[in-house]
Structure 1
């Protein structure tokens, strides 16, 4: 399988404080990684490295076969889908237009860039895949938080990236919104079998059942990584979050609770 991401012995230091230490990771085409850890563990910093937004202080990072430090980051970012739930379009755009802004990674449609009929059709297909086909003419301010989150995933996929990074995509969602998001991610997996994803979350309940691999971060170090079935265990998560935890899996989905002594 083709390597989409490769990080080797990565260190990140900010203002003299280590944020990441000796982290290595390889993500291949078609793999779906979960990145978990407590607040301050380094998840967002690692995702910024993988998304070609920042450079490591030390170590080697390759994104889509290109090494950071030897490539224009802005050009490389155009080939990576990065979903930030805090993104805000410029004005009350229609859903289809929000998705089309993914072509230029801008908050609004640029006057000098007119989408082609093929690009408009792709935006409609993505919205349909994500369960939003009937809302493509709706305006951004009228959407629920869950509908906005799924729209931003469609936006990130407009340039046909090989890699999709999701930074806590279920933030602020109620139960129906979370479940609709997870169903949409599963539909994307079926329709784009070569797409690789990395999803950051604090909560196992937010992980899709098709998650293939996981990385646990604690204090900036990789505590465990590998196939999800091996990494997502009560013992491993207990070490990661410093709690006695019990983990269960039903229908492909995970749930966790504190283990009480009898």
Structure 2
């Protein structure tokens, strides 16, 4: 059973059609028969237990790998028929695992998003590019960090710097791979607020957020895809997918889901042992 979105269909930003991924060496099935469409301006959460295939799906949409079978179209280009490096330049990616020089200033880190490099390529950063980096820091409300070394910034500040860096290419698609990893409560809330502002001010921007915690989803998240053991369990509007029934099926233990002022909360009840 799958839930489906209703209403007018937006322009497709990413389309996975009957996609499967297998490891050739072992024959292990990572993804099996995945169908998924992300529309312009939609904000999706990608949820599932460890090993469900979330990272692989994100790598496909991020033009970092090809499927074993099926087709993947991103920003109107089909993987296998396009230069993956050029396509990646138009996709924003935020991950806590990204390598960034710790001694570089926040402004410099954001500048590297223009060239998609780890180290800055100073000759390519004209005044307009530098001004754009400054404007993005201001948009993420961290302009005061411009001259601060990335390595001494807090986890939440680093996360927002990486979001600003990802926006340098003015992407239509922004991928967030567990961006809240290891953030404390205030830092988490700052990042959630920032993502909510982006969703309301950038009408055409589509986002996909991978996380393990419903509490990390901003009120802007309107759609959810649940993965289980490499297959789509269900997908569709958040209010149809984020239910105790679906979450219990997805994670294999009793889960209660509630919502307050647009924010989601999940808690797991005690698993009672079977009667002898």
Matched with 1:41 is 52
* Equivalent in 110, 114, 118 of residue 99 of structure 1: 110
Describe the superposition over 1:51-108 as per-residue Cα deviations: whole angstroms up to 9, x where unpaired.
0100000001000000001111111100100112111223511111100000111111
Structure 1 residues without counterparts, runs of 5 or longer: none
SS in structure 2 of the partner of residue 236 of structure 1: helix
Structure 1 residue 165 displacement after superposition: 0.3
Compared CA separation, residues 261 and 39, structure 1 to 2 (3 A): closer
For 2:157 and 2:36, how far apart are their aligned partners in 1? 32
Matched with 2:6 is none
Q: Does 1:64 align with 2:100?
A: no
Structure 1 residue 259 displacement after superposition: 3.4
Structure 1 residue ranges, 4+ long, deviating more than 4 angstroms after superposition: none
Matched with 2:213 is 203
* Equivalent in 29, 32, 38 of residue 40 of structure 2: 29
TM-score by length of 1: 0.97
SS in structure 1 of the partner of residue 129 of structure 2: helix
For 1:28 and 1:183, how far apart are their aligned partners in 2? 22
Structure 2 residues without counterparts, runs of 5 or longer: 1-9
C-alpha root-mean-square deviation of aligned residues, in Å? 1.3
Matched with 1:249 is 259
Q: Does 1:10 align with 2:19?
A: yes
Structure 1 residue 207 displacement after superposition: 0.7
Q: Does 1:83 align with 2:94?
A: yes
Structure 1 residue 111 displacement after superposition: 4.1
Q: Does 1:147 align with 2:174?
A: no
Structure 1 residue 117 displacement after superposition: 1.8
TM-score by length of 2: 0.92
CA contact (8 A) 2:254 2:271 kept: no
CA contact (8 A) 2:253 2:271 kept: no
SS in structure 1 of the partner of residue 30 of structure 2: strand
SS in structure 2 of the partner of residue 158 of structure 1: helix
SS in structure 1 of the partner of residue 215 of structure 2: helix
CA contact (8 A) 2:102 2:149 kept: no
